[in-house]
Chain A
Amino acid sequence: MDSVKRKPRLATVWLGGCSGCHMSFVDLDERLAELASRADLLASPLTDYKDFPEVDITLVEGAVANSDHLEHIRLVRSRTKTLISFGDCAVTGNVTAMRNSFGVTDVLNRCYLENSAVVVGLPAGNQVVPALLDRVRPVHEVVEVDYFLQGCPPPADAIYDLIMDLLHEREPRTDGRRFG
């Protein structure tokens, strides 16, 4: 009986970031067609999903900055075989983590009280908007990370090389580079 090997399942996630890494991903341009033939993109901000599925590879963009990110990255890790910290915010915290030296109160006050003209006031607790974490953290401080792809954003070539290495079950050309 023929057993058809299913295509690897790919996902991308963005936490506290600018989506620039996803723009770089989209900069794969015509190589996206090759990627589509080799893997299934099951969940991504570019698709419409509500429940994160079981996948083989997940690219995680952005740092862990609020309670929703914390909950989501733990879920993503539990349903992913190979998790990649994708871009500098995920790898080191980067721009998203710059608020760590100021503290949550100062940062919120500057935006919603001092700089506000029309509606002055901090966002109300409505159980929907997630709470900011005291410290923004890179992904590896919260869950185990398998590979790091640094860059702000990582160039499309680097993204392509890493994903293709993984899809071909080759050891990625990261030379064992780790950030945590």
Chain B
Amino acid sequence: MSERIVIHPVTRIEGHAKISIFVDDAGEIDSAQFHVTEFRGFEKICEGRPFHEMPGLMSRIS
């Protein structure tokens, strides 16, 4: 029976993720995907800001 198993949440990592495991009709694993489920947009939010804010700002990525 084909199904998708989702591991949610993935624990003991820095950040947030899920894992999807696709199982085919024969019960064999067809494929697996790792999903990063967080996004804050640092590439955009730094635009227009003074350069000296960047070390403080970017260190809040992680």
Residues on A facing B (Cβ under 8 Å): 14, 16, 18-20, 45-50, 65-66, 68, 94-96, 98-99, 102, 106-108, 110-111, 115, 126, 128-130, 132, 152
Contacts and interface: CB of A to CB of B under 8 A. Distances in A.
B45 to A, nearest CB: 4
B11 A19 contact: no
B62 A18 contact: yes
A107 B41 contact: yes
Interface in B19-62: 20, 33, 35-41, 43-45, 47, 57, 60-62
Contact of B38 (A66, A107, A115): A66
Contacts of A106: 44
Contacts of A68: 16, 37
Contacts of B13: 45
Contact of B61 (A18, A48, A129): A18
Nearest to B20: A128
A162 B37 CA distance: 31
Nearest to A115: B43
A130 B11 CA distance: 17
